[in-house]
Amino acid sequence: MAKNAVVMEGIFYEINGIKILEDINLTIKENDFLAIIGPNGGGKSTLLKIIMGLLKPQKGTVKVFGHLPHESLHKIGYLPQITHFETDFPINVFETVLMGRYHGPLHNYSKDDEKSVLKSLQNVNMLDYKEQQIGELSGGQLQRVLIARALTREPQILLLDEPTASIDPQMQKNFYELLSKLRNEMAVVMVSHDIGVVSSYVETIACLNRRLFSHGPVETAKKGLEEAYKCPIDLIAHGIPHRVLREH
Ligand SMILES: Nc1ncnc2c1ncn2[C@@H]1O[C@H](COP(=O)(O)OP(=O)(O)OP(=O)(O)O)[C@@H](O)[C@H]1O
Ligand SMILES: [Mg+2]
């Protein structure tokens, strides 16, 4: 039987008395490929930070592979949502990804670390750029490098916050194909405000707008999405990622 990667029970989270998350119950299995979709401010990034133990809920419990979040941090690969990323310092692509293999202050990087970095860069089609300064990359290229950095940790669960935000359609397709390969080795969770990212590769969808509205196979998620967004949505019919919002 598949193991539980993440179990959240009765999570409540608020900031300054404002409810951000209410009564979240969510189980993610070790090989799930889950998309969490919801409007801006719905609490998606917050939820990921709670899974990693960066934020502590006022109520409820979180277990990651049966342990407290901070005890399982080494099993988690994370792509933060990029709002602003300072690239104005001298570090190249290879070195940026190598940071994902950081073992602590007294440990040097090994040949295995270097091999893993090259493999991760290959996975996101950025190997040719390994010597390039990160300040010289486009937004989408930078995002791919940061995905490589998350992958190089060889995580058991990969958390991706708006991973396709600045990636072009061709690269998105490659990216989804990569994720569907990776899910044999790890649980993959991606969050996005853009229902267009939901593709045939995603297995289950949860809809988050302070509350979690549904968590199930793509076909049954439509109702939950409409509740979360408070407007009618035409969701994926034939596996081609697209976004259609009827007049509302
Ligand atoms: N440090 C903070 N202080 C006050 N409010 C915060 C803080 N961080 C987040 N919030 C609020 O919590 C709510 C949820 O934010 P969160 O970033 O989780 O949303 P999101 O679903 O990821 O949105 P987006 O689609 O825009 O990325 C928002 O209303 C936001 O304003
Ligand atoms: Mg967010």
What is the distance in A from the centroid of ligand 2 to the CA of 170? 24
Q: Give the binding-site residues of ligand 1, using a 6 Å CB cut-off.
A: 15, 20, 38, 40-46, 81, 193
Q: What is the mean pLDDT of residues 82-87?
A: 74
Number of the ligand 1 atom closest to the C-alpha atom of 193: 25
How far is Cα of residue 64 from the mean position of the Cα atoms in its chain? Answer: 15
Q: Which atom of ligand 1 is nearest to the CA of 16?
A: 4
- Backbone φ and ψ for 16, nearest 5 degrees, come out as 50, 40
Query: How far, in Å, CA of 5 to CA of 8, rounded?
Result: 10
pLDDT of 231: 58
Q: Would you say residue 121 lies in a domain?
A: no
The dihedrals phi and psi of 247, each to the nearest 5 degrees, come to -50, 135
104 assigned to some structural domain: no
CATH of the domain at 25: 3.40.50.300
Q: Which is more confidently placed, 84 or 149?
A: 149
Point out the least confidently predicted range of 23-37, 162-176, 220-234. 220-234
Asked whether residue 115 carries a pLDDT value surpassing 90, the answer given is yes
Residue 19 lies in a domain: yes
Mean pLDDT of 6-29: 96
Q: Which of 45, 197, 213 has most ligand 1 atoms within 8 Å of CB, for mutation?
A: 45
Q: Within a domain: residue 67?
A: yes
- Within a domain: 43: yes
Q: Quick one: pLDDT at residue 82? A: 77
Q: How confident is the model over 49-64, as pLDDT tens digits?
A: 999 999 999 999 999 9
With the most atoms of ligand 1 within 8 angstroms of its CB, the residue from 11, 12, 19, 20 to mutate is 20
Mean of pLDDT values over 184-204? 79
Q: How confident is the model at residue 140 (pLDDT cuts 50, 70, 90)?
A: confident
> Which bound ligand lies closest to the C-alpha atom of 19?
1
Please check whether residue 141 is in contact with residue 126, taking contact to mean a CB–CB distance below 8 angstroms: yes
Would residue 62 count as lying in a domain?
A: yes
Distance (angstroms) between ligand 1 centre and the Cα of 57 equals 14
The parent domain of residue 217 ranges over: 4-85+155-229
**Per-residue pLDDT, 222:** 62
pLDDT tier, 21 (very low <50, low <70, confident <90, very high otherwise):
very high
- Tell how far the Cα of 20 is from the centroid of ligand 1, in angstroms: 8
| pLDDT value at residue 235 | 52
Task: Indicate whether 55 belongs to any domain.
Answer: yes
Closest residue by Cα to residue 195 from 220, 238, 226: 226
- Closest-CA residue to 156 (of 98, 103, 77): 77
Q: What's the total number of domains in the chain?
A: 1
Beta strands in 58-162 (DSSP E): 59-64, 76-79, 157-161
For 50, phi then psi, to 5°, come to -70, -40
Q: Name the residue with the closest Cα to ligand 1, atom 7.
A: 15
Q: In the Cβ-directed half-sphere of 109, how many Cα atoms lie within 13 Å?
A: 16
- Residue 175: inside a domain, yes or no? yes
What's the pLDDT at 215?
64
More confident residue, 42 or 164: 42
Whether residue 66 is predicted with pLDDT greater than 90 in this model: the reply is yes
How far apart, in whole angstroms, are the C-alpha atoms of residue 29 and residue 48?
15
Model pLDDT, residue 243 = 37
**pLDDT exceeds cutoff 70 at 79:** yes
Q: How far is 67 from 82, CA to CA, in rounded Å?
A: 28
- Report the atom number in ligand 1 closest to the C-alpha of 46: 18
Tell me the pLDDT of the chain averaged across its residues.
84
Share of the chain above pLDDT 90, in %: 50
* Per-residue pLDDT at 88 exceeds 90: no
pLDDT of 193 above 60: yes
Answer yes or no: is pLDDT of 226 > 70.
no
Give the model's pLDDT for residue 59.
97
